[in-house]
Amino acid sequence: MEKVDSTSKKNEKVTIFASFLRKLSKFELPLICYYATGQPFSNTSENKIQFGWSSFMNVVNQLTSRTPDNLRGFYGTKADFGSLIEYALIKRTPQPKSLDSYFGQNESKELTIEDVNEHLAKIASFKGKGSQKAKKNQLIHLLKYASPLEAKYIARIITSDTRTGFREGLLLDAIAEAFKHHNKGVRYAYMVLSDIGDVAQVARDQSVDLLSLKPRIFHPLRSMLATKAESIDDALENYKSLVCEPKIDGFRAQLHIGKNRCKLYSRNLEDVTHAFPEIIDSISSDLRSRLTPGILDGEVVALLDGKPVFFQDLSTRILRKRDIAISVESTPCYYYVFDILLHQGKSLLDIQLEKRKEILYFSIPDLKNIIKMEHKILENKVDIQNQLQEAIQNGSEGLMLKDPISKYQAGKRGKGWLKLKVTLPTLDLVIVGAEWGHGRRTGWLSNYHLAARDRNDYCVIGKTFKGLKDEEFVQLTEHLQELELSKEPYGISVQPKIVVEVEFDNIQESSKYTSGMALRFARITRIRNDKDLEDVDSIETVRQLFQDQLQRQKRTDKA
Ligand code: AMP
């Protein structure tokens, strides 16, 4: 990775990595693909490292006897655990000959990819009480065999830092170059398989035609995503007609239906089957016989007394923070299906949306908690406008407008799907805290804590790093450091002075902030140097907007 980092030319990076990939064994190849993209395991693996910031600091502290203040100071300037541990190990005085000697061990052991994998799996395997301590010990055990440079990359893998120098796109190019495939084939394989390690394996096996791969049941695909449309005119500019569906605010999920079992996966490919038994129980033998093996795409929505409940409430089920049986009784969930990717074992990814819809409607009978999402194909602005009004009245966020002839592009945010949302008015908020950025934003204070006015105080209602240009980050970093009140584990708290205009998608109930509310998808539209504290919106204004939003959702019941 150091070699890859040493050149800024993409082609050279790809060639260096391609020749490295060719040298790897069958066992090492997928692992290196995960590590190169900053993942300890495959993105579909159930293994999770779950290693906290303070635990990591603690490990570095134990390994190097550097004070937490010294480490925090260094971390503050780089915000990268990899560089932190490398720095801490290199700068240790007196410099030991090797880490082994530091630990008073005589054995001299070279660290292999297999060792790293074994240790990482072990770290992930500790669960429950005492697990943080066991994880820490295991990491120390791993790092004692590592050079400072190796430790740097191990730290980045453990903290899932994407700064390992290689983005997915470049890695796919390297796989293509290493095993003499067209980029198109490798990218298609990635779309279908979702797992970059699996892609490398099939690419290496020259007997496989990558373009003929199809989705595999119980291997979730990344979701197709939508681009924002500014207006109906904007949406109609490129299309004669559009498939219009309500954009409901729930939880994206992929339902895999096999002969004997079914699984539901979240947008980040996590198995969430346990959280929605009412949806799984709805799967009838009729559905199975029409579909199996099949993969559906849709949105899980919870209804409480007939009203939609926000996404965060669904996540309490997923995180098992709620008794699921009780929640099923009180807040049943429904799966609204809007797409089909695999039908009776046949891939539908390359079939046009209109045709996929036909297959979908024919395949899904009426079921209790699985519902086919309604859609209309519309051509003119007035009809779409009416549809949008109706969707909003029924508690949706807006409309999804889809190109009828688009193919399913897993993991892509293209122009095939457009989202048209009705945004709320913007708020003027003040920055009261900021976090040091990661990745591209390293060295900048970039995640801003946004507060509304609450009489003589300020009440945080959200955080964001979105919306600003690089030069604005630089400017804010300088300005905020001048306003520093105290150092905090997350970064710094600052005097409320800088006012920003903030756009957001909606307001949620939140136990995280004392206001009980949080902005969802907040982004800064402007730094309001022209505004001062008097202009900051009050918490009452935010509460009123929240009430208006709830009113809109309530209309769902009456519709
Ligand atoms: P956003 O999260 O704002 O980028 O909007 C895209 C998300 O809207 C998708 O990932 C789905 O979770 C959700 N969604 C709601 N209704 C639909 C629909 N009819 N078609 C596709 N996605 C939908």
For the segment 281-336, what is each residue's pLDDT rounded down to a tens digit? 999 999 999 999 999 999 999 876 656 666 556 777 887 777 888 888 888 899 99
Q: What does DSSP say about strands 413-421 and 225-228: parallel, antiparallel, or unpaired?
A: parallel
Neighbours of 381 (CB within 10 A): 13
Output the pLDDT for position 52: 66
Work out which ligand 1 atom sits closest to the CA atom of 247. 16
More confident residue, 140 or 443: 140
Pocket test for ligand 1, best of 221, 242, 247 (most atoms within 8 A of CB): 247
Check: CB of residue 403 under 8 Å from CB of residue 352. no
Q: Which atom of ligand 1 is nearest to the CA of 373?
A: 19
Question: Ligand 1: which of 268, 299, 335 to mutate, most ligand atoms within 8 Å of CB?
Answer: 299
Position 94 pLDDT exceeds 70: no
pLDDT at 102: 44
Q: Can you list the domains of the chain with their CATH numbers?
A: 38-158 (1.10.3260.10), 225-421 (3.30.470.30), 427-552 (2.40.50.140)
Q: Which atom of ligand 1 is nearest to the CA of 250?
A: 12
Question: What pLDDT, on a 0 to 100 scale, did the predictor assign at position 99?
Answer: 45
The whole-angstrom separation of Cα 393 and Cα 559 is: 8
Least confident of 41-50, 71-80, 239-248: 71-80
> What does DSSP assign to residue 444?
S
| CA of residue 546 to ligand 1 center, whole Å | 21
Greater model confidence, 514 or 322? 514
At residue 260's C-alpha, the angle toward residues 256 and 265, to 5°, is: 25
**Contact present, 226 and 418 (Cβ < 8 Å):** yes
Mutate which of 400, 422, 520 to test ligand 1's pocket (most atoms within 8 Å of Cβ)?
400
Q: What is the pLDDT of residue 558?
A: 41
Inform me whether the pLDDT recorded for 456 exceeds 60.
Answer: yes
Residue 247 CA to ligand 1 centre (angstroms): 6
Which residues partner with 450 through β-bridges? Answer: 431, 462
Out of 247, 263, 357, 463, which one is annotated catalytic?
Answer: 247
What whole-number distance in Å separates Cα of residue 534 and Cα of residue 532? 5
Contacts of 143 (CB under 8 A, 6+ apart): 59, 63, 85, 99, 151, 154
Distance 255 CA to ligand 1 centre (A): 15
Q: How many other C-beta atoms can be found within 10 angstroms of the C-beta atom of residue 502?
A: 25
- Kindly give, in sequence order, each residue whose CB lies less than 8 Å from that of residue 324, ignoring residues fewer than 6 positions away: 274, 275, 277, 317
Segment 22-27 shows an average pLDDT of 95
Residue count of the chain:
559
Pocket lining: 418 vs ligand 1, CB cutoff 6 Å: no
With CA atoms as reference, report the closest residue to 417 among 406, 428, 431. Answer: 406
Whether omega for the bond prior to residue 293 falls within 30 degrees of 0, making it cis, is yes
- The per-residue pLDDT for 413 is 84
Establish whether residue 373 lines the binding site of ligand 1, counting it when its CB lies within 6 angstroms of any ligand atom: yes
Query: Beta strand pairing status for 242-247 and 370-372?
Result: unpaired
Pairing of β 499-503 and β 445-454: unpaired
Q: Which of 419, 504, 506, 521 to mutate to test the pocket of ligand 1 (most atoms within 8 A of CB)?
A: 419
Q: Ligand 1: distance of its center to the CA of 252 in Å?
A: 7
Cα separation, 444 vs 111, whole angstroms: 35
Determine the pLDDT at residue 62: 82
Q: To 10 degrees, the CA torsion angle through 112, 118, 120, 124?
A: 180
pTM of the shown model: 0.74
Q: Is 253 in the pocket of ligand 1 (CB under 6 A)?
A: no
Give residue-wise pLDDT tens across range 213-255: 999 999 999 999 998 887 899 899 989 999 999 998 888 999 9
Mean pLDDT confidence for 124-137: 88
User: What is residue 100's predicted lDDT score, i.e. its pLDDT?
Assistant: 47
Residue 351 class from Cβ within 10 Å (0-12 exposed, 13-18 middle, 19+ buried)?
Answer: middle
The predicted pLDDT at position 556 comes to: 42
User: Residue 192 in contact with residue 220, Cβ under 8 Å?
Assistant: no
CA separation for the pair 313, 331 (Å, rounded): 10
**What does the pLDDT read at residue 443?**
79
Whether residue 266 is predicted with pLDDT greater than 80 in this model: the reply is yes
CA of 391 to the centre of ligand 1 (A): 14
Q: Which of 182-196, 333-347, 499-513 is predicted with the least confidence, judged by mean pLDDT?
A: 499-513
Identify the pLDDT of residue 121.
Answer: 93
**C-beta atoms surrounding 495 within 10 Å:** 13
Ligand 1, atom 4, lies closest to the CA of 226
Per DSSP, the three-state class of 377 is strand
Q: Which residue has the higher pLDDT, 1 or 341?
A: 341
Q: Ligand 1, atom 14: nearest CA belongs to which residue?
A: 247
Tokens of 482: 């001048």
Pocket of ligand 1 contains residue 229 by CB under 6 Å: no
Checking if the pLDDT of 74 tops 90, the result is no
Of the chain, the end-to-end C-alpha distance in Å amounts to: 58
Any ligand 1 atom below 6 A from CB of 523: no
- Report which DSSP code applies to 95: P
The residue contributing the CA closest to ligand 1 atom 8 is 247
Which atom of ligand 1 is closest in space to residue 417's alpha carbon? 21
Query: Among 33-42, 59-68, 475-484, which stretch is predicted with the lowest mean pLDDT?
Result: 59-68
Strand, helix or coil at 190?
helix
Q: 543 in ligand 1 pocket by Cβ < 6 Å?
A: no
Q: What percent of the chain has pLDDT over 70?
A: 90
What pLDDT is recorded for position 458?
A: 92
248 CA to centre of ligand 1 in angstroms: 7
Q: What is the mean pLDDT of residues 189-210?
A: 94
Catalytic (active site) residue 247: yes
CA-nearest of 172, 206, 169, 170 to 189 is 172
What does the pLDDT read at residue 260? 92
Tokens of 163: 């700064």
The finding on whether 299 has its CB within 6 A of some atom of ligand 1 is yes
Nearest CA to ligand 1 atom 18: 247
What's the pLDDT score for residue 447?
92
pLDDT score, position 164? 56
Where is pLDDT greater, at 397 or 233?
Answer: 233
Ligand 1 binding pocket includes 336 (Cβ within 6 Å): no
Joined together, the tokens standing for residue 274 give: 């346990």
Per-residue model confidence (pLDDT) at position 47:
83
* 4-13, 63-72, 517-526: segment of lowest average pLDDT: 63-72
Q: What is the pLDDT of residues 137-188, one digit of tens each?
A: 999 888 887 888 888 888 888 877 656 557 788 999 999 999 999 999 999 9
DSSP state of 97: S
